[in-house]
Amino acid sequence: MADSPVDLSTAPLVVLNMSVRKKLALYLNPKNVVAADWTLVAEAMGFSYLEIVNYQRLQDPTLRLLEDWQAGPAEATVGKLLSILEDVERRDIVEDLRPLMEEDVRKYREGLKKRAERPLQVHEVDSCVPRTHEKSGLTLGDDPEGTPELFDAFICYCSSDIAFVHEMIRQLEQTDYKLKLCVFDRNVLPGSCVWTITSELIEKRCKRVVAVISDDYLDSDACDFQTKFALSLSPGARNKRLIPVVYKGMTKQFPRILSFLTVCDYTNPWTQAWFWERLAKALSLP
């Protein structure tokens, strides 16, 4: 019996594994006078001229394009990506990669189905054990056959502060600083225990943690856990593990647990011109 057709229209782009993404980059990265390259795909995705110019400075613009698109406000799905490739007349890519994409989506849906079928109560209700092995595929850049993906910083943030996180990506990744940030909604694959993933990333994959402080941050259990975990790895801030960032005015009191740390303050107009340079330098330290 033949497999039923796979619905790609609602499958989030994040399900595509790194092997598929790298093959897509092999097609789109080279400047091509005959066929559409990544720049036309970027235009179809809604990226601006200035954003595309910044991508041109990157060694692998296609991979970064996919990461930023799936993290953006627009709905990024596998089906939409294939539709864009059709629109820019890259049917060669569609024919070659569609079966691989369908397989990734099929595995993703099977995983969702298995999790839905699990009983609500298990032996260890509040546990996330066994711990996820750091090479088993936590992030988009993980190669199951190779080394785990590493980052300069883990970004601790609330969903309401995502616009500033996008600005951090533009200022720190897409400039000469060329830093690599771990942004949960962009880099982390779905389906595993949140607490396990974040602790593994902060402890083993990221040199620093940047905490984006705001009123909503103070009410977030996830941010509270990530901040305290990072502090536990660096008692007394001996290795500058945690860097607090304030980017807008607050009505609530700054967290006392961070009061002994030097803050990177974007709200001060007198020092704003040095903000990104200071933050980039702190994240570049060994």
Mean pLDDT for the stretch of residues 139-155: 84
What does the mean pLDDT of the chain come to?
84
Query: What pTM, to 2 d.p., does this model score?
Result: 0.58
Q: What is the pLDDT of residue 240?
A: 67
* Nearest Cα residue to 158 out of 245, 250, 220: 220
Contacts 24+ apart (CB under 8 A), 214-221: 214/158, 214/160, 214/161, 214/246, 214/247, 214/248, 214/250, 215/250, 215/251, 215/252, 216/158, 216/160, 216/161, 217/156, 217/157, 217/158, 217/161, 218/252, 218/255, 220/158
Of 46-50, 130-134, 215-219, least confident by mean pLDDT is 130-134
Architecture of domain 13-117: Orthogonal Bundle (1.10)
Q: What percent of the chain is helix, strand and coil (3-state, nearest 5)?
A: 50, 10, 40
Q: Is the pLDDT of residue 80 over 80?
A: yes
Q: What is the pLDDT of residues 82-134, one digit of tens each?
A: 999 999 999 999 999 999 998 888 887 776 666 555 444 444 444 444 444 54
Q: Is the pLDDT of residue 166 over 90?
A: yes
Start-end of CATH 3.40.50.10140 domains in the chain: 151-284
Mean pLDDT for the stretch of residues 278-284: 95
SS (H, E, C) 97-154: HHHHHHHHHHHHHHHHHHHHHCCCCCCCCCCCCCCCCCCCCCECCCCCCCCCCCEEEE
Q: Is the pLDDT of residue 262 over 60?
A: yes
- Residue corresponding to tokens 């980052």: 151
Burial degree of 34 (CB within 10 A; 0-12, 13-18, 19+): exposed
- CATH code of domain 151-284: 3.40.50.10140
The span from the CA of 61 to the CA of 82, in Å, is: 18
- Angle, to 10 degrees, between the axis of helix 162-172 and the axis of helix 61-71? 170
More confident residue, 131 or 238: 238
Mean pLDDT for the stretch of residues 249-268: 90
Q: What is the pLDDT of residue 171?
A: 95
Q: What is the pLDDT of residue 114?
A: 62
Q: What is the pLDDT of residue 44?
A: 92
Sequence-ordered strand ranges (E) for the chain: 151-156, 181-182, 206-213, 242-246, 264-265
